[in-house]
Structure 1
Amino acid sequence: MLDVQHWLVALPPLAVYLIVAGVIGVESMGVPLPGEITLVSASLLAAAGVVEPEWVAGAAALGAIVGDSAGYAIGRRGGRALLARLGRRFPKHLGPAQLARAELSFARHGVWAVFFGRFIALLRILAGPLAGALHVPYRRFLAANAAGGLVWAFATTYLLFHLGRVAEHWLKDASWIGLGLAVLAGVGSTWWLRRRAHRAVHTESEPEPGETVPARSR
């Protein structure tokens, strides 16, 4: 993550916002990219005064909403054959086991899987294409997608922004230590939130004895 942050700090603010929106947008379309790491790095740059937090959060939310909608359209058009091709291309991230878990989440939670999926790496990548392939009604999908994207983007950005500002305030004479603590706090907070969301979805998504994964849910 520090490499990403060092790379972003050398860019003008507009380029940072575009990269945040672009990386998160492409990730939301079904391509495994470090969207969360990019957002965390940009948020810490905002705490250091390099970029504005509201623009970072807005760019992340825009990328999430537009990317998920594009992924929905692609999944609607390509169906499960597309998901199978993605699984072969990215077996570590989107293989049959990951797809089965994601489908169970949709079967159990419906569009709430889109909302909470924004906080889970697997569903953050698969939510849009899978919702399209399963023919989830677009209006319901868009509502959950927009709500999840906005909450995830602004909560993550401002949490890390304020952690960074607090660290800088108390450690003015050792700014590099403050930055390091902010990075550790941000990563730890993000990891904790992801673990809690992952456990909740994984626990509720465990199939009962004899239960099979639904091939399609309308």
Structure 2
Amino acid sequence: MSLEFFSLETIQELAHQYGYWAVFLGILLENAGIPLPGETITLVGGFLAGSGELNYPWVLVVAIAGAVLGDNCGYWIGRYAGWPFLLRLGGFFRISESQLDQAKTQFSQNAAKAVFLGRFVALLRIFAGPLAGIARMPYFQFLLCNTAGAAIWATVMVTLAFLVGHLIPLDELVAWVAKFAALALLLVVAWILVPIWMESRRHKPDNL
């Protein structure tokens, strides 16, 4: 999910104008919890590197740096201010505190995997840092998983656009990557919600 006025054309124009800063700040803000299209920004950076406008190693460096720093900001925001906000948000959607506690426990049990692999999942890339802070994931464990995940994600996205950008249109590449991320999101949602639903069914008295 991203802000609608950040179309692919707008992102390309910003990347043309501001180069590495556009890539760095876009990814940093998304990973800090702001719903910007960081994935698209990374692909555009790799595409421009493939066309010779930007330098591939520098695009990779700023993408990794933006992802790591952004997620660190999100982590500390979640740790100190995230749970009260989540409770208010849950109340708005009529989700009880016990249900949120259960979801937090589910996340805590798999926090390392969520932070490491979450970058390839739509929305989770935005919220993994704040959620890790809310779940009180040990910071050094978070930092290790965050850095490793950022390095792999950025390398895959930048290299993919760098190599494939000349073979297929950039908008098609962005669409394919977005579909993969959305599918991954559906799998993650099912992985979280199905155990909660089964647990609630197990404690529900039988209607005889």
The CA deviation at 1:65 is: 0.6
- 2:32 is equivalent to residue 29 of structure 1: yes
Q: Deviations over 1:129-184 (max 9, x none)?
A: 1211211111111111111111111100101110024x2xxxxxxxxxxxxx3314
Q: 1:49 aligns with which of 49, 52, 57?
A: 52
Identify unmatched segments of 5+ residues in structure 1.
Answer: 168-180, 213-218
Confirm or deny: 8 A CA contact 2:112 2:141 kept in the other structure.
yes
**Whole-angstrom distance in 2 between the partners of 1:5 and 1:46:** 12
Confirm or deny: 8 A CA contact 1:25 1:67 kept in the other structure.
yes
**Whole-angstrom distance in 2 between the partners of 1:38 and 1:75:** 24
In structure 1, the partner of 2:133 is 132
Question: How does the TM-score come out when normalised to structure 1?
Answer: 0.74
Amino acid of the residue matched to residue 33 of structure 1?
L
Confirm or deny: 8 A CA contact 1:160 1:182 kept in the other structure.
no
Confirm or deny: 8 A CA contact 1:69 1:128 kept in the other structure.
yes
Question: How does the TM-score come out when normalised to structure 2?
Answer: 0.77
The CA deviation at 1:41 is: 1.7
In structure 2, the partner of 1:163 is 164
Identify unmatched segments of 5+ residues in structure 2.
Answer: 1-7, 202-208
Q: Deviations over 1:19-39 (max 9, x none)?
A: 211121111111212212211
**Whole-angstrom distance in 2 between the partners of 1:134 and 1:187:** 32
Confirm or deny: 8 A CA contact 2:43 2:161 kept in the other structure.
yes
**Whole-angstrom distance in 2 between the partners of 1:41 and 1:4:** 8
Identity %: 34
- 2:173 is equivalent to residue 186 of structure 1: yes
Q: 1:19 aligns with which of 22, 37, 60?
A: 22
- 2:206 is equivalent to residue 199 of structure 1: no
Confirm or deny: 8 A CA contact 1:104 1:205 kept in the other structure.
no
Aligned-residue CA RMSD (Å): 2.8
In structure 2, the partner of 1:178 is none
The CA deviation at 1:210 is: 3.7
In structure 2, the partner of 1:209 is 198
